[in-house]
Amino acid sequence: MKFLLSQRVKRLTFLAIGTMLTGATWAQLSTESIVVDGDTRTFLQYLPTNFSPSEATPLVLCFHGGSGTADFQLGIGDLRDKADSDRFVLVYPQALPDANDDGSTNWQVVQSGELPFTLPNPHSDINFTSALIEEMGAQHGIDLSRVYAMGYSNGGGFVYDLACRLNGQITGVGAVARTMYAESYANCATSHPTPVVTILGTNDFESNYDGVTYQGTLYFHSSDEGNALWIEKNGLLDSPEVTEMPNLSTNDGSSVERYRWTDAEDCIELIHYKVNGGGHDWPGSFGNMDIVSHEVIWDHLKEYNMEGQMSCATSRINDLETQEWKISPNPTSMALNVTFGEGETPDWFQIFNVRGQVCMESRSVQGAHWTIDISGLKPGLHLIRTARGTQSFVVR
């Protein structure tokens, strides 16, 4: 059953592509490390040209496949040009050897080990990713409301897990060549609109389009079942918009259909690229060449923060401003100023994190101008609620 859980990267293909694409020397690329749960965890980090922490840029995490490395993932999913032009911090994390799979570098998706033939990876990659995001916030001032993750194969399965088990720190995800692991699916909890992009080949015999059941036990859900979960989680309409993508490469033996589900306001979406005839590939680098996986994932996810599509959020903010109360600065790190205009002034507030937990509250506030000490709040997206309504802010 190890083949079901690790589904190893095609190492020779990775090596050839990685060697070809990573030959250039870019000063902004470095290997970094942090210590998490007593383990030294490493990652490749790329800072865009002329980077300044004052920009509050997004963060993009790109996870390699089973038995892979961060260098190989950079080779097939190179987003450095996009990081320069679109302004984001780019990170390729490295998995630790999995003692349960002969030392293969796999991401942790087995949570309980209750399914037959499975054992939990001894390293908590959820803790690693959480700590990594916090480190990027502390060191580079990233916009914690815009943290995106994408991954290949086992890494694709892991980003589903991040969307479910680390939803408070992950804005949206893109999974290539993987469907959802049964435990991720069964224990998925979301607290905000979560955009998802999936790319999967119909002839992927390592990550089967119809899922994987072995000796009567379901290990991986089908593509359709995974899509149905995100339709339900995000409150999307049942009928997708289907688009035939241009067949730019007529010799790759495959073609692509794009399925797009949205909510009634078109403020959150699920995108599925169905690669007809495609295998266990990273389209754009090997296999199908009609789309470039990392670029289409980024182009979809970049439009979103924790509240949904940012153009929709702008409309909501404009609506809130008509209520004549404002908050500043946003993002903030030490204090939040609240100013009320005409009308009755509230005398209470509550501050929530993205999990809906109350972090602060007061029932005896006076005056039309408040200064709230928020230095004790953890970095991330928060909501402040008063009798005038609710607004969002980011703690850095």
Domains identified in the chain and CATH numbers: 2-311 (3.40.50.1820), 323-395 (2.60.40.3080)
Task: Please give the DSSP secondary-structure letter assigned to residue 245.
Answer: P
Using an 8 Å Cβ cutoff, are 247 and 173 in contact? no
Quickly count helices (H) and strands (E) in the chain. Answer: 10, 23
Tokens of 36: 């998490």
Cβ atoms of residues 148 and 86 within 8 Å = no
Closest CA to 46 of 19, 84, 85, 94: 84
Write out the two tokens for 69.
């490395």
Q: What is the mean pLDDT of each run of 10 residues along the chain (396 residues)?
A: 41 40 58 97 97 94 98 98 97 94 92 90 92 94 95 98 96 98 96 96 97 97 98 96 97 98 94 98 98 98 93 57 76 92 83 77 89 91 83 86
40 close to 33: Cβ distance less than 8 angstroms: yes
Measured distance between the N- and C-terminal CA atoms of the chain, rounded to whole angstroms: 43
% helix, strand, coil for the chain, step of 5? 25, 30, 45
The whole-angstrom separation of Cα 306 and Cα 359 is 18
Q: Who contacts 130 (Cβ-Cβ below 8 Å, separation ≥6)?
A: 166, 169
* Residue of 279, 372, 285, 368 whose CA lies nearest to 328: 372
Give dist(CA 143, CA 120) in Å, integer: 32
Q: How many other CB atoms are found less than 10 A from the CB of residue 40?
A: 9
Sign of the CA dihedral with 299 first, then 154, 244, and 228 last: negative
Rounded CA-CA distance 56/144 in Å is 8
Distance CA 360, CA 84 (A): 38
* Contact in structure between 191 and 356 (CB atoms under 8 Å): yes
